[in-house]
Structure 1
Amino acid sequence: MSAPIRFWGRVVSLRPRLVLTKFEGSTEASCPGYILTLEGTLTEGSAPPVGSTFTVAIGPATMQNRELALGDLLRGDAHPVPDGLPDVPAQLYKVGVLRLIARTETEIPLDPPRTDSPLSPDDVERAPRRALAIKCLLSERGGCRDCSHAVLACVVRLTDPRNYRTGRWSQVPACLGPESCPHFIPRED
């Protein structure tokens, strides 16, 4: 495993990490954690810090214990996600240290985009999923960038339910929020 990367930044997006498993016509949803998008700095080894926007995968227990929210200032270290790990749509994972430096003190405006608290893992697994028309809605300038209901779902199509690594993986932008959202554009199949 590679050396951990130190990070520091403000949370600009908090999304559930959704994994859909498809096997013989059935689909099973699971939520193994959350994806944080932070604006801040990354530091590798003794190199100087580099400013950027980056994503960090955390587990549900970390989210529950820290009660993270938009605007929180965080510091920590995590490992880069290896190329052969398609079920983690983030740049960093396996967070070793996570410190909450400061809570947000300013009100973050509601809608648009949605900034309400992220869904719990159970709610994510039960939520209706609708494909987003265009992946760029989740991009840095997209309308759904900060929405806690817009996710990049990792989908695996299995031929053998005992071996996830041999399945065909893809990442599909999806919306777990209400259809009344002004940014929701249904995908036409």
Structure 2
Amino acid sequence: MVRLRSRLARAGGATALTGLIATGLATTAAADPANNPADVQTLMNHLSGGYTPADCHPAGAHSAVAVAAVNCDNYSHDPGGPWNADHLLYANTDDLNADFQRSLAEAPQTPAQPFPDGTTGPTEWNRGGHNGSVVFLGSDRDDGVYLVWTDIPARMLVVAEQGIAPESTQAALYDWWQAGGVR
């Protein structure tokens, strides 16, 4: 099983990957995000459900425009949750949306998977003040399952990845996200 952290390590400094690297979606080259303490703390305050700051740490280059990145490379403590989640913070929503859209456009080989209700993404989601945010459900070349979403009010992009099917299913990850993956 190829884990997200392994992909980041192979990417090194030559290619900066967005939080969508779980899908094999690459962006342009860039330096590591600044990861200043205030930005890292902002991410730690908005971790996905089932993660605590003790589960997570500042991460290296994920995106050309993210100002901070945090990786939670432990299993979520919530049932059905991911075994890895990357959280990226952006200076503004224009950078966030552009990075998300650019990443999807640069990796047409990455298939969108249907949500449990049959729709496919990316699609807008509005819940608890998260208006205008976008969610995408997919799988990678190694049959890993991932859920990617933007959180417009928090200026965040999150990639939550589960292991290889049949251990994981898109429905289980989506149910986790609906039940509290977004805080």
- TM normalised by structure 1 equals 0.25
- Which structure is larger by alpha-carbon Rg, 1 or 2? 1
Query: Whose helix proportion is higher, 1 or 2?
Result: 2
- TM normalised by structure 2 equals 0.25
